[in-house]
Homo-oligomer: A and B are copies of this chain.
Amino acid sequence: MTAPETAEGWYVLHDIRRVDQGRWSALNPDRRQEIAEATAAWLARVAQPGAGAGSSAAYRMLGHKGDLLFLHLRRTLDELQTLEAGFDATPLAAYCDRPTSFVSVVELSLYGASEDVRRNPMSQPWLVRRLYPPVPDRRYVCFYPVNRRRAGEENWYALPFQTRRELLEAHGQTGRRYADRVTQMITGAIGLDDWEWGVTLWADDPLAFKKLVYEMRFDEISAKYAEFGPFYVGIRLAPPELARRLR
């Protein structure tokens, strides 16, 4: 079967850290304050590295799967590596472990694209905007990885090109009905991380995550061909809030 052509944009790192409460709360409040401010200063430094250079954001997570999610969008894998090393160099890192992470790159499948677009995707301003998005200004984030199933009759990679194109288009229509409520970023991780794709959603009302993902699960592409990984949900932290939250 034929692979679709794809266009790629930002490299993306979802970097999740968990604070060791035992060692953290053993620090005296002044030291905690100092570390909280240093971490916030680091976040402020990396959040807006300049025009065309990407952006970073922090979220406080719900549940036991982690405390902080740092989301980095950059031009190169090397910059992502520098950013994770940068966090490791903050004094907070010594009180954190790192339960998970996800390395991927913004991806658009060109299943239905015209020959013009497929030849030179970067000549299309609308496409470039989708490949190099900013972190949107929305309060809640939801992230989960997905695979396409390869099992007996339900094998995405054995479907004809045209069938895959139609299933994706129908799926896209469900997504578009939520366009005003949910901002969506699809990243590809084949050859980079353990799952094939990552889905990052942003909304101002977290119920929109549930409504959208539930409705999509009835799309044939999800019902028959999707394998879902863990779901991570967080609330945006501007640098001063990060400092407040930590100390």
Contact = CB atoms under 8 A, between A and B. Distances in A.
Interface in A190-226: 190-194, 201, 206-207, 209-215, 217-218, 220, 222-224, 226
A191 B210 contact: yes
Q: Please tell me how many copies of the chain the complex holds.
A: 5
B94 A22 contact: yes
Interface string A14-25: 011000111111
A188 B214 contact: yes
Given A6-B214, A231-B194, A77 B21 contact: no
A233 B77 contact: yes
Given A62-B80, A215-B3, A93 B210 contact: no
A94 B21 contact: yes
A206 B104 CA distance: 11
Contacts of A158: 220, 223-224
A200 to B, nearest CB: 12
A31 interface: no
Interface stretch (A42-50, A129-137, A148-156): A148-156
Contact of A214 (B190, B215, B231): B190
Interface of A: 1-3, 6, 8, 13, 15-16, 20-26, 60, 62-65, 77-78, 80-81, 84-85, 88, 91, 93-96, 98-103, 105, 140, 142, 150, 152-155, 157-158, 188-194, 201, 206-207, 209-215, 217-218, 220, 222-224, 226, 230-231, 233, 235, 245
24 contacts: A3-B218, A6-B211, A13-B63, A21-B96, A25-B93, A62-B80, A62-B101, A63-B101, A63-B103, A63-B193, A150-B224, A152-B152, A157-B217, A157-B218, A157-B222, A158-B223, A188-B214, A190-B213, A191-B211, A191-B214, A191-B231, A191-B233, A192-B233, A194-B230
